[in-house]
Structure 1
Amino acid sequence: MRRTAAHQGVRMIKFSSILSRYEAAEFSLAEAAELLGIGERTFRRWRVRFEDEGEAGLLDRRLGKASGKRVPQDRSDEVEALYRRRYAGFTAKHFHEHLVKDHLFGWGYTWTKTFLHSRGLLEKAERRGAHRRKRERRPLPGMMLHQDASTHLWLSGQPALDLVVTMDDATSAILSAFLAPEEGTASTFRGLAEVFGQHGLPLSIYTDRGSHYFHTPEAGGKVDRTRPTQVGRALEHLGVEHIAAYSPQARGRSERVFHTLQDRLVKEFALAGIATAAAADLFLRDVYIPAHNALFSEQPSQEGSAFVAIPGVDLREILCVQEERQVGNDNCVSFNRLKLQIPESPLRAHFVKATVKVRHYQDGGYAIFHGQRCLGRYDKKGAIEETKQKAKKAA
Structure 2
Amino acid sequence: MTSRDAAEVLSLSERQIKRLKAGVKKEGEVFVIHKNRGRKPKHTIPGKIRDQIVFLALSKYKGANYAHLAELLEEDEGITISQSSVSRVLKAKGIKSSRKHKPPKPHRSRERKPQEGLLLQMDASPYEWIPGIKCSLQRQTILKYGLPVSVYVDRHIIFKTPSNAKLTIYDEFEGKALAYTQFSRAMQELSVGIVYAYSPQAKGRIERLWGTLQDRLVLELRLFAIKSLKEANAFLPGFIQRFNARFAVVPREPQSAYRLLEEHINIDYILCRKEARKASQGSTFSFGGQTYQLSKNNQVVPIPNKAAITVLTSPRFGMRAEYKGGVYEVRKAVRPAKVIPKEDRAKRSIKPIKVKDDHPWKNSGVRPNFTYEESDRELVAAIYDPQGWE
Same-fold status (TM-score > 0.5):
yes
| Matches of 1:366 and 1:126, distance apart in 2 | 45
Cα pair 1:209 1:244 within 8 Å, conserved: yes
Shift of 1:101: 1.0
Residue 302 of structure 1: which of 253, 259, 262 is its match? Answer: 253
Q: How does 1:339-350 map to 2 (within 5 A)?
A: 339-341=292-294, 350=302
In the alignment, what sits opposite 2:6? none
Cα distance change of structure 1 residues 280 and 237 upon mapping to structure 2, 3 Å threshold: closer
Residue 351 of structure 1: which of 298, 303, 316 is its match? Answer: 303
Does 2:127 correspond to 1:152? Answer: yes
Does 2:184 correspond to 1:232? Answer: yes
Q: How does 1:113-262 map to 2 (within 5 A)?
A: 113-122=87-96, 128-156=103-131, 158=132, 161-164=133-136, 177=137, 191=138, 193-218=139-164, 226-262=178-214
In the alignment, what sits opposite 1:108? 82
In the alignment, what sits opposite 1:15? 15
Shift of 1:17: 4.3
Cα distance change of structure 1 residues 306 and 84 upon mapping to structure 2, 3 Å threshold: same
Shift of 1:297: 2.3
Q: Residues 211-238 of structure 1: CA distance to partner in whole angstroms, max 9, x if unpaired?
A: 443322339xxxx962233433332232
Cα distance change of structure 1 residues 120 and 367 upon mapping to structure 2, 3 Å threshold: closer
Shift of 1:55: 7.4
Opposite residue 122 of structure 1, the aligned amino acid is K
Q: Residues 65-109 of structure 1: CA distance to partner in whole angstroms, max 9, x if unpaired?
A: 322211122222222222233223322112111111111112322
Does 2:41 correspond to 1:90? Answer: no
In the alignment, what sits opposite 1:311? 262
| Matches of 2:63 and 2:143, distance apart in 1 | 37
Q: Residues 256-284 of structure 1: CA distance to partner in whole angstroms, max 9, x if unpaired?
A: 2222223333322332223345434443x
Q: What is the DSSP-based 3-state SS (H/G/I as helix, E as strand, rest coil) of the residue aligned with 1:150? A: coil
Opposite residue 250 of structure 2, the aligned amino acid is Q
Aligned length, in residue pairs: 310
Cα pair 2:221 2:232 within 8 Å, conserved: yes
Residue 364 of structure 1: which of 311, 317, 328 is its match? Answer: 317
For normalisation by structure 1, the TM-score amounts to 0.65
Residue 50 of structure 2: which of 76, 88, 109 is its match? Answer: 76
The answer for unaligned runs of 5 or more in structure 2 is 1-8, 166-175, 334-390
| Matches of 2:286 and 2:313, distance apart in 1 | 16
Shift of 1:203: 0.7
Cα pair 1:322 1:360 within 8 Å, conserved: yes
Cα pair 1:12 1:58 within 8 Å, conserved: no
Cα pair 1:139 1:302 within 8 Å, conserved: yes
Q: Residues 170-196 of structure 1: CA distance to partner in whole angstroms, max 9, x if unpaired?
A: xxxxxxx3xxxxxxxxxxxxx2x3222
Shift of 1:143: 0.9
Cα distance change of structure 1 residues 55 and 366 upon mapping to structure 2, 3 Å threshold: same
Shift of 1:118: 1.3
Cα distance change of structure 1 residues 205 and 212 upon mapping to structure 2, 3 Å threshold: same
In the alignment, what sits opposite 1:292? 243
Q: What is the DSSP-based 3-state SS (H/G/I as helix, E as strand, rest coil) of the residue aligned with 1:334? A: strand
Q: What is the DSSP-based 3-state SS (H/G/I as helix, E as strand, rest coil) of the residue aligned with 1:231? A: helix
Cα pair 1:12 1:55 within 8 Å, conserved: no
Q: What is the DSSP-based 3-state SS (H/G/I as helix, E as strand, rest coil) of the residue aligned with 1:299? A: coil
| Matches of 1:163 and 1:323, distance apart in 2 | 22
Shift of 1:153: 4.7
Opposite residue 255 of structure 2, the aligned amino acid is G
Does 2:282 correspond to 1:330? Answer: yes
Cα distance change of structure 1 residues 311 and 286 upon mapping to structure 2, 3 Å threshold: same
Aligned-pair identity in percent equals: 25
| Matches of 2:43 and 2:111, distance apart in 1 | 41
Shift of 1:51: 8.1
| Matches of 1:227 and 1:57, distance apart in 2 | 83
Q: Residues 14-44 of structure 1: CA distance to partner in whole angstroms, max 9, x if unpaired?
A: 435467xxxxxxxxxxxxxxxxxxxxxxxxx
Cα distance change of structure 1 residues 48 and 304 upon mapping to structure 2, 3 Å threshold: farther
Opposite residue 196 of structure 1, the aligned amino acid is I
Cα pair 1:140 1:301 within 8 Å, conserved: yes
Shift of 1:60: 5.4
Q: What is the DSSP-based 3-state SS (H/G/I as helix, E as strand, rest coil) of the residue aligned with 1:289? A: helix
- Rg: which structure is higher? 2
| Matches of 2:268 and 2:16, distance apart in 1 | 85
Q: Residues 148-170 of structure 1: CA distance to partner in whole angstroms, max 9, x if unpaired?
A: 222235445x3xx5452xxxxxx
Residue 328 of structure 2: which of 377, 384, 387 is its match? Answer: 377
Shift of 1:54: 7.0
Q: What is the DSSP-based 3-state SS (H/G/I as helix, E as strand, rest coil) of the residue aligned with 1:152? A: coil
